[in-house]
Amino acid sequence: MRTRTVAIAVALVGLAACARNEDGPARPTPGTPPIDRPRVDSGVSPPPVHDGGTIIQAAEPPPPISGGTLALTPDGTWLVAADPELDTISIVDVETATLRDTIELTDGDEPGRVVIDGAGRGHVVLRSAGAIADVDLASGALIARRPVCAVPRGIAWRASDDSLHVACTEGTLVSLPASGGEPTRRVHVADDLRDVVVDGSDLYVTTFRTAHLLRLDAAGTIVSDAAPREIAIEGLIPMRLTAPGPFQPAVAWRALSSGEGVMMLHQRALSAEFVAEGGYGGGGCGGAIVHTSVSELVAGEMRSGDPLGGVVLGVDVALSPDGLRIAVAAPANAYPRNGGITTVTRSSGDVLVYSRSEATTSSETPTCANGSMPRLEDVGAAIAVLFLPDGRVVAQTRAPSRVLFEAPDPDALVGPVVALGDEDTYDTGHMLFHAAAGGGIACASCHPEGGDDARTWRFAGIGPRRTQTMRGGLLDTAPFHWDGDMREFRDLVHGVFVGRMGGAVFEEGEIGAFGAWMDALPALPRPADADTDRVERGRALFHDATVACATCHAGSALTNSATVDVGTGKALQVPTLLGIVYRAPYMHDGCAPTLRDRFTPGACTGGDAHGRTSHLTSAQIDDLVAYLQTL
């Protein structure tokens, strides 16, 4: 378990004027509060109140919230909680509401999804280690660590053959025996996989950013493809629209078996053209360009729900044992940043419970599904949620790391609280990234897990603009936005979070902490290409002066931060190529579905004004793409 030191800077820290990028122009950097003394509050005490003047910065920045890190043993005896910030796996006794065991993992493992097999073993995805951890729940011992893929995300156990199935961001589904041993199968299904769900004899996987639910046959081949339906915008959008377009299914944060089919917690995003200067929405239920919803696939039919009232950034969902209620964890609700409010108010409103029928059945005219708050301790930001066999809600929170039980006594206001660690990973920049702004969205709504939502937004007077990633070193890519119209990071904060998202005005110290946390977001690990000769040929082409890719995509961030017209009709920022394999579709307007499509001649990609590649053979393009996929 990593040891963390967290600093408190009482005085606000301003931004440094600029710093020099070795391979590019000057760029702004945020001032970072000095890390000079440890936090004194820990354990079960509430985290410090953020009042706009106190900046808290973790020595080791916590990873973006991914959610869905709780599991319950089939007999309801133990809870298993993975903590991606403390790098621990905790086992909690449900009856006594006490911490029984803590398993310390390697620093930076980032444990995520948890599944429990029929032999009492827990299996935890190690998101940043490319592996799974096997745990004997009876003894609380770590049995093994097994490599699976570059970026594992979802995991499921299938009882019929005692097998585990791991979904990987690079598109691979890895199968392996639950009892231990090497993978028995690797099959590429589709890019950007997220969750795996076993539903009877069927195996399903989801795609993260596009919210598709894919049913697979025994060979791992897709046999059906379903997605939540689009819904009309009437009555949901307060902003000014200049062209029509519905809300379309977007980021699928969580999927699970509902007993009748597969339930998916996902976002929807506005496809209509809108005036950005008027803001991204007015909050409320569906009042923003992004909202949260729950859809359910039953007997081959997708039942798509209405917007969930009160939820900003829903990251986990659970279904009650009687099948009548769903619970949603929405950590952004714990960090309101609107209407001039500069104090973070901790609230149990980050866990909401809804009627299943109201939440998953959409009418022709979308309405607001209203929820209620369970009786949980009023502290923390929920990252995971589930129901106990008796119908009570349990939530896992971060900063501080806890498990909160709903009270068994109906007359009690709150239930037991179990501290999972004595370290508080609260970080001002992390909080601001996940904060609910006044417009009903958070930065993480469009940049899930610090990346991108794969969407091309239609801005009136600006044009189509593809969401860009925050990973891989943001500050080296200034100026910001495709048009390069925001010269400094503070311009980005005030122009977007405050001006468009409706959030409170940032203090200078907040801007510094915010930029420092985002700048530390690493690019995702890239899958290895077995054909090293092909990659080396592609590397040579990339750096060939005739092809000229490296003319603009240079330096540690693989961008010279210039604003250039590459034949698409407008001068735009040169984007970083770090992690480009995970960022389809490509170009500023998303016109190239794949990396290879990027090299198809035409107005979409700019032709030879965008690197001179028309003379390359098809095999050479394959080599170049293979190299790009390793960046």
Q: How many residues does the chain have?
A: 631
Q: Are 349 and 373 in contact (CB under 8 A)?
A: yes
Q: Which residues 6+ apart lie within 8 Å of 353 measured at CB?
A: 325, 326, 327, 328, 371, 372, 373, 374, 393
Share of the chain above pLDDT 70, in %: 88
**pLDDT number for residue 412:** 87
Average pLDDT for 308-315: 91
pLDDT at residue 254 is higher than 70: yes
> Quick one: pLDDT band at residue 3, thresholds 50, 70, 90?
very low
> Quick one: pLDDT band at residue 601, thresholds 50, 70, 90?
confident
Average pLDDT for 535-548: 94
Average pLDDT for 16-32: 31
Looking at per-residue confidence, does 516 or 32 come out higher? Answer: 516
Residue 463: is it exposed, middle or buried by C-beta count within 10 angstroms (0-12/13-18/19+)?
A: middle
Q: Are 124 and 133 in contact (CB under 8 A)?
A: yes
For residue 577, is it left (φ>0), alpha (ψ between -120 and 50) or beta?
A: alpha
Q: Nearest-CA neighbor of 147 among 186, 115, 116?
A: 186
Q: Nearest-CA neighbor of 326 among 273, 283, 287, 369?
A: 369
- C-alpha 562/C-alpha 309 separation (Å) is 42
Average pLDDT for 64-85: 97
**pLDDT number for residue 284:** 65
Average pLDDT for 295-304: 91
List of E strands, 108-260: 111-116, 121-126, 131-136, 141-147, 152-158, 163-168, 172-177, 185-188, 193-199, 202-207, 213-216, 222-226, 241-243, 247-257
pLDDT tens-digit map of 547-561: 999 999 998 889 998
> Quick one: pLDDT band at residue 379, thresholds 50, 70, 90?
low
Total Cβ atoms within 10 A of residue 408: 13
Q: Are 126 and 105 in contact (CB under 8 A)?
A: yes
Looking at per-residue confidence, does 81 or 357 come out higher? Answer: 81
- C-alpha 553/C-alpha 543 separation (Å) is 10
Share of the chain above pLDDT 90, in %: 65
> Quick one: pLDDT band at residue 341, thresholds 50, 70, 90?
very low
**pLDDT number for residue 462:** 92
pLDDT at residue 47 is higher than 60: no
pLDDT tens-digit map of 214-227: 999 988 999 999 99
**pLDDT number for residue 369:** 86
DSSP string, 476-530: GG-SBSTT--B-SHHHHIIIIIITTT-BPPPPHHHHHHHHHHHHTPPPPPPPPPS
Average pLDDT for 175-193: 97
> Quick one: pLDDT band at residue 313, thresholds 50, 70, 90?
very high
Instruction: Identify the three-state secondary structure at position 147.
Output: strand
Whether residue 575 has a cis bond before it, omega within 30° of 0: no
pLDDT at residue 14 is higher than 50: no
> What is the amino acid identity at position 200?
G
- C-alpha 384/C-alpha 74 separation (Å) is 18
> Quick one: pLDDT band at residue 201, thresholds 50, 70, 90?
confident
- C-alpha 156/C-alpha 164 separation (Å) is 6
> Quick one: pLDDT band at residue 71, thresholds 50, 70, 90?
very high
- C-alpha 58/C-alpha 488 separation (Å) is 24
pLDDT tens-digit map of 270-281: 999 998 887 887
Q: Are 260 and 271 in contact (CB under 8 A)?
A: no
pLDDT at residue 203 is higher than 90: yes
**pLDDT number for residue 505:** 86
pLDDT at residue 315 is higher than 70: yes
| R_g (Cα) of the chain, nearest Å | 24
**pLDDT number for residue 502:** 85
Q: Nearest-CA neighbor of 514 among 481, 470, 480?
A: 470
pLDDT at residue 31 is higher than 60: no
pLDDT at residue 452 is higher than 70: yes
**pLDDT number for residue 363:** 67
pLDDT at residue 38 is higher than 50: no
pLDDT tens-digit map of 399-448: 889 999 999 888 888 899 999 998 889 899 999 999 988 888 999 999 99
| Domains along the sequence of the chain with CATH | 6-51+449-519 (no CATH), 65-147 (2.40.10.480), 159-226 (2.40.10.480), 532-628 (1.10.760.10)
∠ Cα 372 375 380 (to 5°): 95
Q: Are 52 and 3 in contact (CB under 8 A)?
A: no
Average pLDDT for 375-384: 84
Q: Nearest-CA neighbor of 55 among 503, 510, 493, 426?
A: 510
pLDDT at residue 623 is higher than 90: yes
pLDDT at residue 574 is higher than 50: yes
Element (H, E) at 383: strand 381-387
**pLDDT number for residue 62:** 97
pLDDT at residue 340 is higher than 50: no
pLDDT at residue 50 is higher than 70: no
Q: Are 5 and 489 in contact (CB under 8 A)?
A: no
Average per-residue pLDDT in the chain?
86
**pLDDT number for residue 54:** 78
pLDDT at residue 364 is higher than 90: no
DSSP string, 233-262: -TTT--SPEEE---EEEEEEEEEEE-SSEE
Q: Taking the C-alpha atoms of 456, 460, 462 and 463 in order, what is their torsion angle to the nearest 10 degrees?
A: 40
